[in-house]
Each structure stands twice: as structure tokens, then as C-alpha cells.
Structure 1
Amino acid sequence: MIRIIREGWETFLTDFRAVKEQDPAARHWAEILFTYSGLHAICFHRIAHFLFRRKQFFLARLISQWSRFLTGIEIHPGAVIGKGFFIDHGMGVVIGETCEIGDHVTLYQGVTLGGTGKEKGKRHPTLGNHVMVSSGAKVLGAIQVGSGAKIGAGAVVLRNVPPDSTVVGVPGRVVSQNGVRMDPAWDFSQVPDPVAQSMKRMQNELFLLWMTINRADDRLKQMEQEKAKVQ
């Protein structure tokens, strides 16, 4: 029992330090302790998970639902979450039963780590260490997200993500890995600028109009000269 208490305290301190290290708005330890719903949610989850592993399923779910009511963050007590876990803002975060999350992972508001249906067994994602999942992203199914990966805001990820890569879009696509761009289609510097194109067309049309007016003016002067000679 003493060992369990010591391990739980060490885990709490790691989670607490993760908030202080990653959120520049965290000014004081009391502010973190009493006002950060992400820290509250993971503390409740640690207790619920402890009970879940000892087959106290009803009590575990009761604690997780109470935590959801208080924090707006829903974490199934069966989810396995490593140390240094940080949920920033947190409202609307959902973490499924068979999720496995490594150490020092960061989630932002509106993130869903969910399943894709009613299949049994392992049906939720596995996240490696130092993964960041941005606001509103959905990571669905029994997929692997490698350590150091970053999921962009609003992305829907349905396939495995390699380590140290960045995924964006719907469906999620790997656009860089180890700092190297993987998909040139996402290089927006190569996308034509519609405003510049419109300006260029307008310049061409103005040039043609100027040429037409000049030709008409030259023709008018020529006609006046011919008329003067006849008179």
C-alpha cells in the first residue's frame, strides 16, 4: 500500500509539472491545483483506473462520470494513461476504454480518442510518448500514433501515424516526418493566388483597351488629315 501511495504521488507530481511546463498562463501552484480542469480530470481518472483494474467497475464508472460532470472531460476508467499527461482547456475531450497513452502526451479541447463502431476488444487508439493532439482532432480506431507525432487541429485520423510526423486534414494525411515535407500537394506556396490572377487579367484587359483606343485615335487623326487635303 505504501508503494502504491508513493507511485501515485510521484505520478501526480509529474502531471502537475506538465501543466506548469506547457502552459505559460499557469502562474502559481495554487492556480494549477484548484482551477485546471485537465489536472482534476486526470486525478479522478487515476483513482477510477485503480478501481477498474481491481474489477470495481461500477465504482470506477461512477467516479469517471462524476469527473465528467465536474470537468467536461470524459475518460473511461479502463484507459491506460502514462505520466506527465496534460489536457489544455479540456472541454469536450473524450478518451475511450481501450486507449493506451504514453508519457508526456498533450491533448487540447474537443479531442476524441474513440472507436469506429461496436467492435469488441482493442478498438481505440494507442499514442506513443510526447504526442500532441490539437483542438478538435479525432483519432479513431485501433491505430498506432508514433512517439513525437503531432495531429493538427480538426484532423480526422483513421490510419497509423509514423513517429515524429505531422498529420493534418480530413482524412488525416502525413505532411511531414522528421522535419521533412512528405506531401508537396500541401505546399501552399505553390497554390495560385486568385487575387493576383484577377489583377493580372484586369491589367491585360486594360492594356488591350488602351491599345484599341490608341488605334482608334490614330485612325481618327488620319481621317481628319485626309479630309483637310480634300478641302
Structure 2
Amino acid sequence: MFELLKAYKKYDPAAKSYLEIFFLYPGPRAIFFHQIAHGLYNIGLYFIARLVADISRTLTGIEVHPGARIGKRLVIDHGVGCVIGETAIIGDDCVIFHGVTLGGVKFDPVKRHPTVGNRVLIGAGAKVLGPITIGDDARIGANAVVLKPVAAGAIIVAPQSVELPAKKNS
């Protein structure tokens, strides 16, 4: 757990102490609950796993399916509105901001959620959908909708707004 708290302190300049992170940040709590739920899920106690996950979602605003596989030192910054689906896989040292969805695009019982590599940053409100792979060290900008695989080291941004020319006075 201390390794996770150190990751938060490293990535969040607003974090003043480990005590503050431990007691007041929803991300570490969501990951703690997920570790319990994931263990229960892996031994076939699906209902209890989902119950733990639901309690976590209620307390943190972060929804992580017990079947999701999460690597070490995942920083979920702010976190409210994050959804991580059942077959999602997240590598080590990733940062995810509030409102991110790692979701599916079909209902078949197959791998239907993204696989996120190591050291990936996913900006606020981004939607990464389907059984795609996000390569190591990729960066996904706020509000991007990603439906295709992303190469390692790539930077993906949402479409930019179009600036219209100023209206001429006649």
C-alpha cells in the first residue's frame, strides 16, 4: 500500500502528505477494495465480489469490476465517474483521471474491454472502448474517444474545436 501512496505523492502536486492520501483520496480506497473483490472473484465468489465492488463504488464514485486486472501503482486522480470493465487489463504505473471509461462495445462473454500498457496516462472524460490495446507510454487526451489500438508512445487527442472567422462589420 505504501508503494501506491508514494505513486500518488509523485503524480499529484496537491498531495501534501501520505496521511492525506490514505484517508482522503478515493483512488487508493477503490484499489484496496478492488484487491479484495478481485480475490473473491478469482475463487468464484462472484456475488460477494460484486457486493464489495458495489460498496466501493458507493464510497468512492469509482466503479471497478471485480474481474478487471489492475497492475501496480495505478493512480486514479479525482476518480469520480471512472468505470473499468470486467475484462479490462491495466499495466503498471498508469494514471487515470476522473470520468474515464474502459468499456466494452458488445455483450458477448469474451474479452471486450481494453488492455492498457504500462505508464499510460488517460485524461479526464476519455472513453476507451472495445478489446483494443493501448501501448506502453501512450497518452490519451481529455474527452478522447478511442476505438482503435494505440501504438506505444502515441498521443491521442479529441478533435479540436473549429474556430470560425470573426464576423465582419459592414
TM-score scaled by structure 1?
A: 0.70
Q: In 1, Cα distance between the equivalents of 2:163 and 2:61? A: 43
For residue 97 of structure 1, the aligned residue among 86, 94, 108 is 86
For the pair 1:26 / 2:24, whether they are aligned, the reply is no
- Give the structure 2 partner of residue 222 of structure 1: none
For the pair 1:61 / 2:32, whether they are aligned, the reply is no
Amino acid at match of 2:11: Q
**1:11-22 alignment to 2 at 5 Å?**
12-22=1-11
Amino acid at match of 2:130: G
- Give the structure 2 partner of residue 52 of structure 1: 41
Amino acid at match of 2:109: K
Higher helix share: 1
Q: In 1, Cα distance between the equivalents of 2:164 and 2:116? A: 38
1:38-94 deviation per Cα after TM superposition (whole angstroms, max 9, x unaligned)? 111011001111111111111111100000000000000000000010000000000
Q: In 2, Cα distance between the equivalents of 1:75 and 1:16? A: 19
Amino acid at match of 1:137: A
**1:1-231 alignment to 2 at 5 Å?**
12-169=1-158, 194-195=165-166, 198=168
Amino acid at match of 2:10: E
Q: In 1, Cα distance between the equivalents of 2:21 and 2:60? A: 14
Q: Which contiguous aligned blocks of 4+ residues in structure 1 show a shift greater than 4 angstroms?
A: none
Amino acid at match of 1:100: I
1:187-211 deviation per Cα after TM superposition (whole angstroms, max 9, x unaligned)? x9xx98824x95xxx7xx9xxxxxx
Question: Gaps spanning 5+ residues in structure 1: where?
Answer: 1-11, 171-185, 206-231
Conserved? CA contact 2:6–2:18, under 8 Å: no
Q: In 1, Cα distance between the equivalents of 2:78 and 2:24? A: 10
- Which protein is bigger by CA-based radius of gyration? 1
- CA-CA distance at 1:13 after TM superposition: 2.2
Aligned residue for 1:87, secondary structure, equals strand
Q: In 2, Cα distance between the equivalents of 1:166 and 1:105? A: 15
Percent identity, aligned pairs only, is 49
- Give the structure 2 partner of residue 218 of structure 1: none
Which of structures 1 and 2 has the larger relative contact order (alpha carbons within 8 angstroms, sep 6+)? 2
The CA RMSD over aligned residues, in Å, is 1.8
Describe the shift of the 1:130–1:51 C-alpha distance in structure 2 as closer, same or farther (beyond 3 A).
same
Amino acid at match of 1:163: A
- Give the structure 2 partner of residue 7 of structure 1: none
Aligned residue for 2:128, secondary structure, equals strand
Alignment coverage as a number of residue pairs: 170
